Structure formats: structure tokens, C-alpha cells
Amino acid sequence: MGRDYVVEKVNEFLIDEFELEPEQLIPDALMKDDLDIESLDFVDIAVIIEKEFKLKVTSEQMVKIKKLDDLYNFILEAQKN
Amino acid sequence: MSSWQGKTRGGQFGYWFFIQVLKYPGIHFAYFFLHFVSTYFVVFVAKARKPIISYFVDIHKYSKWKAFKLTFRNFYVFGQVIIDKVALMAGFSNKFTFNFDGEENIKSMAESEGGLLIGAHIGNWEIAGHLLKRINTNVHIVMLQAEHEKIKSMLDDVMEEKKIKIIPIKDDFSHLFMIKEALQKNEIVAIHGDRFLPGTNTISRKFFGKEAEFPLGPFLLATKYNKPVSFVNAFKETSTHYHFYASKPIKKVAKASIEGRIEASINLLDDYLINLESMLKKYPEQWFNYYYFWGKY
């Protein structure tokens, strides 16, 4: 799974689940301030990552994700391991 | 608007000391000392006294003299409530009597899809944990990490009922994962709906006719996971008698959109506030938020 696939899948669920517009989804977008993603939403994101990418996500890992790019990179790194 | 700054008074030694007093001279001996403690707080701890006097004068419209007397009473009852809480957790349950209003409401939740019990810092909400032993399901109590750590080592030794589990609120959101897991297993999660820490998702609502900030999180949890909610409180009616209330479970059907979910959560919060107001009209002296809840006015 390459970066393009991860970006496409992540953006897809952010648009579907959080009613975000595609133009908001730039890598530097801050999850909380720019995308209005609250702590409770991180639980949903963790569930989707687990389902979509078959990865185990912990709350400690989720709390480090500040920007959208961090989320893409986290999935890519976790897949390598 | 004010928020709670996350500090609670007391420590492990205090809890240990109380247990020794409860074991030997007994609970009324412990209560006796509260007269001195309450006097100290009323006279010397302006930070706690002033918001409570303001609560009685500005919210309940009592005279200043009545407010002053009730403030002493408030500190005294708060002390009793802390002693009772430790006494119950330490297994001294035979010292108290209870009556239940709505126990069947919680039972019906436990037997079906679980749900949330939302309380407040009024009365002796933690005592509900003791009463929930009668419900045949796991009950998860959400509390601040600092509060949990302070009493954990003592409670681990004395807490008899392992069906009651603590979910500590942490900065890493792990509590949200634990809450989700518990609700998905159709278990019961107990949480407060009145206080919030700075930086959390809040909303301003009218409470006793004045705007105050409330956390939206507990109510969002209910609509997000489509679970029923019961508002619970336990009030001290005599020195050894408690009255426990659990409202009929309500479930707000939220539209699929985020706005729809927020709207349903606010509706739920408004129901919670109606319940809270009616309880506080009945037991005004059992309000234990020692800060300017409505901000300064």
C-alpha cells in the first residue's frame, strides 16, 4: 500500500464520517483547529484505521497525531512494521 | 465563564486517618470533628466560602444571613459525605440505610443495552457506586486521573466489589477508548455532567436562569453510541440515611449528520439541567462545586 492509497482512503473516510470538504484536506491541516476533529472523533478514526488497514492503534499513538500528514505517516510507518 | 481547575483537597493520609476513626471510635466521632473543620473553612478559606455564599444568594435568592448559615451546613455535609464515601468503600455499609427511586431504571439498562449514568457534584454521587453492586453488570466510573491516583492504593485494599471499575481521565484519550469498549459490551458507564477541564468541548446553557458552561462530552457519548441515559444522584437525608434517584432512561435519536448529533446532545444536556435544577431545589445545601460555577456576577 503506497502513500497515494493511504491518502485516498483516509480522505475518503474523513469526508464521509466528518463531513469535511476535499479542499480542507491538505497535509498541513491541523486535526483539531482546522478540521474540527475532537478527542471523541479520534476514537472513530482509530476504529476505521484498524478496520481499513488492519492495524492496531493505541490511544498513546493517536494523541501524537496533530496534523493530517501525521495521520498519513503514522499509517505508512505502522504498515512497514 | 469558570471552569474547575482540577484540584481537590485532602490526601491519602486523610483517607487512612478516617478509616482508623471509623474502625474504632465510630462514624459519629468522625462527624464531631467536622464542626471544627467546617468552621475553619467558613472563616479561613475564602476561596471555597465565597462561591458557595454567592450560590445561595444569587442563585437561590436567600438572605445573606441564611446563606452564611447554609454555607456552614454545606461544608459540614460535604465533610460527612466524604466520610460516608470512605466508610462505604471500606465495607462499613451496615452503618447506613438507603431508599431507591428508580433502581428498576438502571436494572432495565443493565439487562438490555447498557448506557450512561450521568451525575453531578451534588449529594453523594459516588455512593451510587455502592448501590450499583445490586445491578448485575460491570459499572465503569469515569473520574479524573488525579482523584483516582490519590485514593487508588487505599481503595485497592478495601474495595470489596470488583464489578465497579474506574476509568481514569487521561490526556492521551485512553479513557475514551475504554468508555467506547464498555458501552459496546452493553455495560454501564457513570460520569459527571457538570464540571469540565479547560480546553474541553463545552457549551453555555441556562441553569437556574443564568448562563453557565457545561461539558458536551458526556452527552455526545450517549448520542454517538446511541445509548440510553439515566440521571443519577444520591442525597444525604439524615446522618445515616441516603435517598438515591435514577431517572427513567432516555435516548435521543440523532440525525446522521454531525449537526444532528450535536443537537441531540444539547437536548439531552437540557434534560439533564432540568433534572439537576429540580434536585437542587429539594436539596440546595448539597451543592459541592467550590468555584464560581456561573462566573462572577
Domain positions in chain A are: 3-80
Judge whether B251 and B229 are in contact, CB under 8 Å.
yes
Chain-chain contact of B171 with A42 (C-beta, under 8 angstroms): no
ipTM above 0.90, yes or no: no
Judge if B107 and B229 occupy the same domain: yes
For residue A81, the 8-state DSSP code is: -
Residue ranges making up the domain that contains B175: 96-288
> Which set of grid coordinates corresponds to residue B176?
475514551
Last residue of a domain, one of B94, B127, B151: B94
B258 touches chain A (CB under 8 A): yes
Q: Choose one of B94, B122, B150: the last residue of a domain.
A: B94
Alpha carbons B51 and B63: distance in angstroms, whole number = 15
Comparing alpha-carbon positions, the chain B residue that sits nearest to A43 is: B177
Q: Single out the residue in B94, B124, B153 at which a domain terminates.
A: B94
Residues B18, B143 within the same domain? no
Tens place of pLDDT per residue across chain A (81 aa): 788 999 999 999 999 888 899 999 999 999 988 998 888 888 888 888 888 888 888 888 888 899 999 999 999 998 887
Question: Residue B151 burial (CB < 10 Å; 0-12/13-18/19+)?
Answer: buried
pTM attached to this predicted model: 0.85
Q: Are residues B56 and B76 in the same domain?
A: yes
Domain A3-80, CATH: 1.10.1200.10
Q: Which residues of B touch A46 (CB under 8 A)?
A: 177
Q: For residues B218 and B131, which has the higher predicted lDDT (pLDDT)?
A: B218
Which of A39, A44, A47, A60 is the best residue to mutate to test the B interface, defined by the most B CB atoms within 10 Å of its own CB?
A: A39
Residue B266 within any structural domain of the chain = yes
Work out the minimum CA distance from A80 to partner chain B, whole angstroms. 24
If you measure CA to CA, which chain B residue comes closest to A46? B177
User: Does the residue B225 lie in any domain?
Assistant: yes
Weakest mean pLDDT among B35-39, B153-157, B225-229: B153-157
What is the DSSP annotation of chain B? -----S-----HHHHHHHHHHHHTT-HHHHHHHHHHHHHHHHHH-HHHHHHHHHIIIIIS---HHHHHHHHHHHHHHHHHHHHHHHHHHTT-GGG-EEEEESHHHHHHHHHTT-EEEEE-SBTTTTHHHHHGGGSSS-EEEEEEHHHHHHHHHHHHHH---TTEEEEEE-TTSHHHHHHHHHHHTT-EEEEESS---TTS-EEEEEETTEEEEEESHHHHHHHHTT--EEEEEEEEEETTEEEEEEPPPB-PPPPSSHHHHHHHHHHHHHHHHHHHHHHHHHSGGGB---S-TT---
Residues of chain A numbered 20-79 and touching chain B (CB < 8 Å): 38-40, 42-43, 46, 58-60, 62-63
| % of chain B at pLDDT higher than 70 | 87
- pLDDT for A68 equals 94
Least confident of B24-28, B96-100, B239-243, B262-266: B24-28
Per-residue confidence (pLDDT) for residue B152, from 0 to 100: 59
pLDDT tens-digit series, residues B118-172: 999 999 877 776 777 777 788 898 887 766 665 555 555 545 555 778 898 887 7
